[in-house]
Every structure is written in structure tokens, then in C-alpha cells.
Amino acid sequence: MSEKPSDAEILEGLAEIVEEVAGVAPDDVTADKSFVDDLDIDSLSMVEIAVQAEDRFGVKIPDDELANLKTVGDAVNYVAKNV
């Protein structure tokens, strides 16, 4: 990406990835939602989501960081900080 994306753009991009991988409606992908508890995403899908997010935003998400991304908001903040 040429410019740093805004938080809203990151959220929108994540929502598209989550829909593609796990079939969650984009409107349900909001900052306060837990990937596991609220969106019913399993650990296998989280790996796919992380790889797609890396490609889309040009960030690295190592496994020990991925484990800390409990909510969609956590993921948005991580991407915003590391992009």
C-alpha cells in the first residue's frame, strides 16, 4: 500500500477477509468482537486470516503476536501500528 490505511480502512479490509475465510457477514465484524467467542472462528481459520491480512496490508504477523489478537480491534490496532 502506498499510504497508511486508516483504522476504518483496515477494519473494512479485515471484514472482507473474515467473510471470505469464515463466512461472517461484514457488518458483524466490529472492533469489540472476539474472533473466537463472538465470530466463531477456529484456530485454523485464524491462520488463514492472518496470512491474507499480511498480504493485504503488507505487515508481518508472527504466531506469538497472532495469539494476542483476541478481538477485531486488537487486529486493527496491530496492523495500524506495524504497517
Partner 1 sequence: MSNVDVVVTGLGATTPLGGDVSSTWDALLAGRNGIRTNTADWVARYDLPAHLAATLAVEPTEILPRVQARRLDRCEQIAVIAAREAWADAGFAIPTDEHEPVDPDRLAVSIGTGIGGPVTLLDQDDILETQGLRKVSPLTVPMLMPNGPAAHVGIEMRARAGVHTVASACASGAEGIANAWQMIQNGRADVVIAGGAEACIHPITVAGFCQSRTLSTRNDEPERASRPFDVDRDGFVLGEGAGVVVLERADHAAARGARVYAKVSGYGMTSDAHHITGNHPEGIGQIAAMANAVRLAGLTPTDIGHVNAHATSTVVGDVGEAAAIRKALGEHVVVTAPKASFGHLVGGAGAVESIITLLSIYYGTIPATRNLERIDAKVGLDVVTGEPRKVELAAAINNSFGFGGHNVAVLFTAA
Residues that bind partner 1 (CB under 8 A): 21-23, 43-45, 47-48, 51, 54
Q: What are phi and psi of 60, to 5 degrees?
A: -105, 135
Whose cell is 477456529? That residue is: 42
Least distance in Å: CB of 74 to partner 1?
A: 20
Widest pairwise Cα distance in the chain: 34
| Residue number with CB closer to partner 1 (22 or 80) | 22
Least distance in Å: CB of 6 to partner 1?
A: 26
Least distance in Å: CB of 82 to partner 1?
A: 17
| Residue number with CB closer to partner 1 (66 or 73) | 66
CB 71 within 8 A of CB 31: yes
| Residue number with CB closer to partner 1 (11 or 21) | 21
CB 67 within 8 A of CB 1: no
The conformation of residue 38, written as its DSSP 8-state character, comes to T
